[in-house]
Amino acid sequence: MNTMTLEQFHAALKAQGVKSHIDFAFVCPMCKTVQSGRDLIAAGAGADFAKVDKYLAFSCYGRFTGAGSSRKEPDGNPCDWSLGGLFQFHELEVVTPDGAKNPRFALATPEQAQAHAAKHAAEAQVTQ
C-alpha cells in the first residue's frame, strides 16, 4: 500500500505536468484504464469538474457508461469498480491532516497523464 499525505498527493498531481486539474489522471485498480475528470464528464457522471470531483480516483468511469465488471483480466475498457464497496483493492491511501485515510486509485505516471490529456485534446479538435 502506497500512503501519502494530502500535501504529497497534491505535489504528485502537479508533477504529472498537465495543464488543468481536469486532466489529473489515475489508474483504475481493476481494469487498469487511465482516466481523468474528462472521462467522468464524457461518461455522464456530471456536467463539469465540480460535479465529478467526488468520483475521481474513487469510481471507474465505466460505472457511468454501463460497463460491466465481468472480465478475467484488464482489456483496455473501463469497468464498474468503485472503492466504496466491501472489497478494497486500492493501492493508494491519502492521509488528510486529521489522520483520515482515504482510498484512491493509483496516480498515473506523468507520461500516462500527459498522453491521456493529449488524447482528449486531439478528440476535442476532431469534434470541433
pLDDT digits (tens, 9 = 90+) for 41-100: 999 999 999 999 999 999 999 999 998 876 778 888 999 999 987 777 788 999 999 999
pTM over 0.85: yes
Q: Tell me, letter by letter, the H, E, C secondary structure of 1-60.
A: CEEEEHHHHHHHHHCCCCCCHHHCCEECCCCCCEECHHHHHHCCCCCCHHHHCCCCCCEC
